[in-house]
Chains A and B, each alone.
Chain A
Amino acid sequence: MGQDFEIKINNKLQSVQLLKEDGNILQLNVDGRKYEVDLISFENGIFSILHKNKSYNVELVEGETNKKFVVNTLYKSYDIEIIDAESRYLASRNLSKELTGNNIISSPMPGRIVRIPVVEKQEVVAGQTVVVVSAMKMESEYKSPKKGIIQHIHVKEGDVVTGHQPLVTIE
């Protein structure tokens, strides 16, 4: 007992501590705010939470790593990441930046590469289109966030890509 983690929600870091667990009744401390909730979970990441007799239905979807989640409440979707020793270690070695940093343009969702209007070693300016992805009858242009040189193109025209796959690295 006394388990605690740091949790990043929408890029804000919060410390969460489990004070007491009695069946499905939990007492927690979220950044100094005390909660007692009745929490049960179902299959498929569906949770029912009762807090002061108010009922919340919450859905949790696993993200790209096993420490990242998307949590949906009724009207709002949150990006949540568990920060523990491993994440801190990765962050300190700048590895996590390498994975998500803005010098790699990655696909936000699955699609097919329609066009790559740039070549490796080419100089690009901020806002210049570097790759065009088509998904579900809609084409989206991905633009360079900064001035730089195309270091590596990870895909070729016609490729089918999954979500969050690196497309172009800009140095």
Chain B
Amino acid sequence: MIKKILISNRGEIAVRIMRTCREMDIKSVAVFSDADRSSLHVRYAGEAFHIGASPSSESYLAMDKIINAAKKSGADAVHPGYGFLSESAEFAKKVRQAGLIFIGPSSHAISTMGDKIIARQTAIKSGVPVVPGTTSPVISENDVIKVASEIGYPIIIKASAGGGGKGMRLVKNIEELAESLRMAKSEAMAAFGDDSVYVEKYIESPHHIEFQLLADQHGNIIHLCERECSIQRRHQKVVEESPSPIISSKMRDEMGKAAVALAKSVDYEGAGTVEFLVDNKGNYFFLEMNTRLQVEHPITERVIGLDLVKEQIKIASGQKLAHKQEDIRQSGHAIECRVYAEDTENNFMPDAGKIKHITEPLGFGVRTDGYVYEGYEIPIYYDPMISKLIVWGRTRIDAINRMKRALYEYKITGVKTTIPFLERIMNEPDFVKGNYDTHFIQDNIDSLLPKSTDDNQLRQDIATITAFYHYYKRLERIKKISIVEKSHDYWRNYGRRKNSVRI
């Protein structure tokens, strides 16, 4: 059994992993950069090693420094968390070559799933549906017509070298095809200097749904049902829930089996996630596989009742899965909101700074996975996520109401946060009805980001009164100091006044 784990990560996920270590009586080792000396994961860990300068390239991505720290500490395993080196096949290999256990899958599984084209081919071989289309560039109009008649309209033409929507054209029928193809090619040429394009079926009203997997070293693989992750902004997940409001138990069964088949084909080991796109008719297509713990894993923990980090550690120690597929059932409903240090009214600009005050929500069915505390200064070098708020309820509506209550209690000052934005999502009728897809935020942006003009005079006056009172009390305090000190030392008195208030 593993006795000591080095966590090659920071922030909330490092703290979350250490919590499980403590429960399992495993010693935890933190690593930290210059900017993170005061981070909670350093304080929480049993041991901590400084590994370099603040930019992640010199610390949390510096493989050799991390492996050195692991050896020095006498750790027998390394947990990579998510992000940073968690999906680096090279890091997994180096850790194992150093004689340590890497808590995660084999380098082969990581690199196979890390390459989009190989992953797609692997999915096809395992009988998992992929988004229909061409994998190699198409040349002539006739080629495109042929492909389109096979996969059916609407189709989308994408630039091979592309990104950012350039060289992308939606084609609804054969009449539009010639013109769209010509435009896509010329746009691709102008933007990337390469006019090769490929064709994919356009998924209408797409949902992003993923399946959590657990696989041991003895060939047993189970899935822990789905997570609905369609509430996204610029491909960043914002809210996740389990179960998904659109997945039937038949679909769950089918998609779960597909995910397990895919994992089997690469001899997967540990915790992993298979992501699917699901259209509004219930067709599903393989998107990608994440060979690590996901940010949103707590909602699965809550409805399934398993600690995923504990399962990861047990698997890495060589133990067999203690649960069979038929034992796995979602109980109740869980929702997670990601709280970011971002200014939603200013185009979601990240906002670093010092936390002046924080009150975290408590009470039945509420969990926060975070790492900031009062007086902590959020560094500018890393992700702006402050915490994850996870609630559970017997029904979806119970969970939504509980999330609203928890967001109301959650108070953070010093930095701007996305809490008000999350509250508006919880109140949006389409969300409450469970009637949403990945376009939700973009489609509802007007009600999610209300105009800055404020017409509530009373609320404004309450704010004015607060500022007035605060300033008035400070003046009173200074006056008192002035009276007491007057007869003594004029210069000290002057300096004190100058420091506290300019009069």
Contacts and interface: CB of A to CB of B under 8 A. Distances in A.
B465 A66 contact: no
Interface stretch (A52-60, A97-105, A123-131, A148-156): A52-60
B356 A45 contact: yes
A44 B454 CA distance: 26
Nearest to A71: B463
Interface residues of A, number: 55
B349 interface: yes
A18 B349 contact: no
A59 B467 CA distance: 10
A143 interface: no
A135 B460 contact: no
Contacts of B408: 74
B463 A80 contact: yes
A16 interface: yes
A167 B471 CA distance: 31
B152 interface: no
Counting chain B residues whose Cβ lies within 8 A of the other chain, the interface size class is 35 or more
B468 A59 contact: no
A16 B468 contact: yes
B467 to A, nearest CB: 4
Contact of A44 (B353, B374, B500): B374
A135 B380 contact: yes
A82 B471 contact: yes
Contacts, number: 144
A110 B463 CA distance: 26
Nearest to B503: A86
B353 A163 contact: yes
A96 interface: no
Given A66-B502, A110-B353, A112-B380, A35 B465 contact: yes
B406 to A, nearest CB: 14
A109 B352 contact: yes
A118 to B, nearest CB: 22
B463 A28 contact: no
B387 to A, nearest CB: 15
B10 to A, nearest CB: 13
B364 interface: no
B357 A59 contact: yes
A49 B465 contact: yes
A30 B463 contact: no
Given A41-B470, A136-B341, A35 B461 contact: yes
B477 interface: no
B501 interface: yes
A15 to B, nearest CB: 10
B162 interface: no
B491 to A, nearest CB: 21
B457 interface: yes
A interface: dominant SS: strand
Interface in A11-62: 14, 16, 18, 26, 28, 30, 33, 35, 37, 39, 41, 44-47, 49, 51, 56-61
Given A75-B420, A78-B460, A136 B382 contact: yes
A56 B503 CA distance: 32
B352 A111 contact: yes
B384 interface: yes
A75 B448 CA distance: 12
A61 B413 contact: yes
A28 B465 contact: yes
A26 B463 contact: no
B444 interface: no
A155 to B, nearest CB: 14
A94 interface: no
Nearest to B499: A66
B447 to A, nearest CB: 13
B352 A135 contact: yes
A45 B382 CA distance: 28
B466 A49 contact: yes
B413 A45 contact: yes
A140 B413 contact: no
Given A18-B468, A59-B357, A138 B350 contact: yes
A44 B352 contact: no
A122 interface: no
B346 to A, nearest CB: 7
Interface string B447-483: 0000000101111111111111111111100000000
Given A46-B357, A77-B416, A135-B380, A9 B349 contact: no
A126 to B, nearest CB: 19
Nearest to A72: B413
B411 interface: yes
A28 B458 CA distance: 13
Contacts of B461: 30, 33, 35
B383 interface: yes
B414 interface: yes
Contacts of A168: none
B351 interface: yes
Contacts of B465: 16, 26, 28, 30, 35, 37, 39, 49
B384 A136 contact: yes
A92 interface: no
26 contacts: A3-B472, A7-B468, A9-B463, A10-B454, A16-B464, A28-B465, A30-B464, A33-B457, A41-B469, A45-B356, A46-B357, A51-B458, A57-B411, A58-B462, A58-B463, A60-B470, A69-B470, A80-B463, A109-B349, A109-B350, A109-B352, A110-B353, A111-B352, A136-B382, A138-B350, A160-B380
Q: Which 7 A-B pairs have the closest CB atoms?
A: A136-B350, A136-B384, A44-B357, A71-B463, A80-B467, A110-B352, A78-B463
